[in-house]
């Protein structure tokens, strides 16, 4: 998992912030992120501004699960895809 992600124990969560040079790239990232969340049926909390997106993945269990890490990995892949 990318070191960008910070994990917390209480509540069990993963957090990351993504920076963008322009809003059109950010918007493509949000679309890809939404597609990944739907695919995994696990939806993170998302906030964004003009040039950044903050994501928090809250585990549905008391500790982080495989699906939480899978979502983080797919979000990283979406980020890498739009930054090419």
pLDDT tens, 31-71?
A: 999 999 999 999 999 999 999 999 999 999 999 999 999 99
User: What does pTM read for this prediction?
Assistant: 0.94
Count of other CB atoms within 10 angstroms of residue 29 = 21
Helix (H) or strand (E) holding 8: strand 6-8
Question: Which two tokens mark 8?
Answer: 């917390």
- pLDDT at position 84 is 85
Average pLDDT over the chain, rounded to whole? 95
Closest CA to 28 of 68, 73, 80: 80
């Amino acid at each position: 998992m990318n070191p960008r992600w910070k994990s917390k124990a209480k509540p069990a969560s993963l957090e990351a912030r993504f920076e963008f040079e322009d809003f059109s790239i950010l918007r493509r990232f949000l679309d890809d992120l939404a597609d990944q969340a739907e695919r995994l049926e696990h939806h993170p909390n998302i906030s964004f501004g003009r040039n950044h997106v903050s994501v928090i993945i809250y585990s549905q269990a008391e500790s982080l699960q495989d699906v939480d890490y899978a979502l983080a990995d797919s979000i990283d892949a979406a980020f890498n895809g739009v930054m090419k």
